[in-house]
Amino acid sequence: MRYALIFCLLATPVLAEVCPDAPDHAGALTALIAEANAAPDEAAGRVVSAQMWELWLDAPDEAAQEALDRGMRQRAEFDFAGALDSFDRLVAYCPDYAEGYNQRAFLHFLRGNYATALIDLDAALAIVPDHVGAQSGRALTLMNMGQTDAARLQLLAALANNPWLSERALLAEGAPLGPAGQEL
């Protein structure tokens, strides 16, 4: 028995696998933000939005991509427990990959765990400050927390990076983040 234990200890790798750095898409994202702001119409803006998502969903390696894709698939199938496990593993493995936090935040948002979602959104934005998806997600989260002024400011920041977000409708008159009416 003692020899079996020693063999297991020797066979176990000393260092855990380390996630490589996330791909550096900062320059491409800056260019896409400029392209979104110059887009002549919503259709062109949506194409640029899709290109932004391609960058954010580009995981650091195959293991991270697999965890991201699995978590998103589980979430789409309403397997929220499985999705949370996948996103937790992704964030633990790649703590410097913003999309892991963003996707986990979306899951928390869907479950109504707004305070927890906000923590993950802040983590994503600390890594990629111009992550429009995390910015708009943060605006929606703040709105659902009743923090209207902060939500409005966050949504305006997101729209400065991509004016074609569907969430822009929330700023219209009479909408949840629209201009405050005059009080009588």
For the chain, which domains are there?
A: 26-62+96-166 (1.25.40.10)
Q: What is the largest CA-CA distance in the chain?
A: 83
Per-residue confidence (pLDDT) for residue 5, from 0 to 100: 40
- 80-93 and 62-76 helices, crossing angle to 10°: 160
Tell me the per-residue pLDDT of 43-77, one tens digit each, with 9 for 90 and over: 999 999 999 999 999 999 999 999 999 999 999 99
Per-residue confidence (pLDDT) for residue 20, from 0 to 100: 97
Q: How far apart are CA 172 and CA 59, in angstroms?
A: 35
Q: How far apart are CA 31 and CA 125, in angstroms?
A: 18
Per-residue confidence (pLDDT) for residue 134, from 0 to 100: 98
Per-residue confidence (pLDDT) for residue 15, from 0 to 100: 32
Provide the H-helix boundaries in 12-147: 26-38, 42-56, 62-76, 80-93, 98-110, 114-127, 132-144
Per-residue confidence (pLDDT) for residue 181, from 0 to 100: 61
Tell me the per-residue pLDDT of 138-181, one tens digit each, with 9 for 90 and over: 999 999 999 999 999 999 999 999 999 999 999 999 999 998 76
For residue 26, the one-letter residue type is: A
Contacts of 90 (CB under 8 A, 6+ apart): 59, 64, 67, 68, 71, 97, 100, 103, 104
Position 12 pLDDT exceeds 80:
no
Position 1 pLDDT exceeds 80:
no
Contact (CB, 8 A) for 105 and 124 = yes
Higher pLDDT among residues 182 and 130, named by residue: 130
Tell me the per-residue pLDDT of 113-126, one tens digit each, with 9 for 90 and over: 999 999 999 999 99
Tell me the per-residue pLDDT of 76-100, one tens digit each, with 9 for 90 and over: 999 999 999 999 999 999 999 999 9
Tokens 């986990």 label which residue?
Answer: 104
